[in-house]
Chain A
């Protein structure tokens, strides 16, 4: 089944304790992205990757890191989490990013993170 998976689905942690949220897709997609969803603010893009070893900042990258060593995986790293990073996080992928023909973004099920 074609899908985007995220782990963990739920995480409660404390300020300053490094954590990683994994994201994996099995559709051979070039483009992957991380978003955070906060009430009343909708989805905001954190980082995206157009292909292996190519990553770029989205609109709210502060406090986050990513890596894209393999095509299928795009982990989100919080080196020193803070309470304002409490949010619902979504990973997404699509065939490619380039302009031109439409391509659908497929979303993972979300990771609810609470930082105390």
Chain B
């Protein structure tokens, strides 16, 4: 499968910005995603970016994509305790036999301290 790497833990203070980083390997991926998993729940799509974009902003969320370096980041401005969760980076394969499948990173546990 494809390799999606992200750091496992991030701690920030409430009100600060959080930046979660991710690297991926499939240069043909057309869509990259950030999913959020709250305790005891399934994953929910947080945001996504199309590969011909460099940046996407959605309220407190900013996604940056460096396609040359295959690097994706998620910035959460004014982080709140309710943002504490596991964040998964995922890429959608556009290669032949794995067309359309999602490959997930290991998830970054974000802890927000009051």
Q: Which A residues are within 8 Å of any B CB, using their own CB?
A: 4, 31, 35, 40-45, 48, 58-59, 90, 92, 96-100, 102, 104-105, 107-110
Nearest Cβ in chain A — how far from B10, in angstroms?
15
Please judge, given known A-B contacts A42-B105, A43-B88, whether A99 and B42 are in contact too, CB under 8 Å.
no
Nearest Cβ in chain B — how far from A112, in angstroms?
9
The answer, among B8, B45, B99, B107, for a CB contact under 8 Å with A105, is: B45
Q: How far is the CA of A58 from the CA of B79 in the complex (A)?
A: 35
Note all chain A residues with C-beta closer than 8 A to B43.
Answer: 43, 90, 92, 105, 107
* B interface residue count range (under 10 / 10 to 19 / 20 to 34 / 35 or more): 20 to 34
The answer, among B31, B94, B100, B107, for a CB contact under 8 Å with A42, is: B107
Q: Are A110 and B41 in contact (CB-based, < 8 A)?
A: yes
28 A-B residue pairs with CB within 8 Å: A41-B106, A42-B88, A42-B104, A42-B106, A43-B43, A43-B104, A44-B104, A45-B101, A45-B102, A58-B101, A92-B43, A96-B100, A98-B99, A99-B30, A102-B31, A102-B48, A102-B92, A104-B45, A104-B48, A105-B102, A107-B35, A107-B42, A107-B43, A107-B44, A108-B42, A109-B42, A110-B41, A110-B42
Does B82 sit within 8 A of A, measured CB to CB? no
Does B114 sit within 8 A of A, measured CB to CB? no
